[in-house]
């Protein structure tokens, strides 16, 4: 249980995801069927499905996070230039 709770979900090898996808999409991978077979297996199956969904979501989110980081850096640089220009303007006005 501890290994599942501390699993590094941000670094799941793509090979594992590709192996899990066909299993999760299989017709026999219905929650009701799994739950009838085993409560423990049901919990693990939900966890596996959640990890695959998380990985898919992060494929969209990570590039956007990188874009945001770059945009913030550019904004900070532009703000620094603005601050310098404003100080020069104030000096001229004074």
pLDDT per residue of the chain (94 residues) written in tens, 0 to 9: 899 899 999 999 999 999 999 999 998 888 888 999 899 999 999 999 999 999 999 999 999 999 999 999 999 999 999 999 999 999 999 8
Q: Are the CB atoms for 18 and 51 separated by under 8 Å?
A: no
Q: How far, in Å, CA of 73 to CA of 46, rounded?
A: 39
pLDDT value of position 1 = 85
| Predicted pLDDT at 7 | 93
Burial class (CB in 10 A: 0-12, 13-18, 19+), 39: exposed
Q: What is the dihedral of CA 15, 21, 24, 28, to 10 degrees?
A: -110
Do 29 and 23 contact (CB within 8 A), yes or no? yes
pTM value is 0.71
């Amino acid at each position: 249980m501890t290994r599942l709770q501390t699993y590094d979900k941000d670094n799941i090898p793509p090979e594992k995801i590709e192996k899990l996808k066909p299993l999760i999409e299989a017709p026999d991978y219905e929650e009701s069927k799994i739950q009838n077979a085993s409560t423990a297996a049901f919990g693990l199956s939900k966890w596996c499905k959640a990890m695959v969904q998380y990985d898919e979501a992060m494929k969209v989110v990570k590039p956007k996070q990188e874009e945001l980081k770059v945009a913030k850096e550019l904004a900070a640089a532009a703000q620094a230039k603005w601050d310098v220009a404003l100080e020069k303007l104030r000096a001229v006005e004074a």
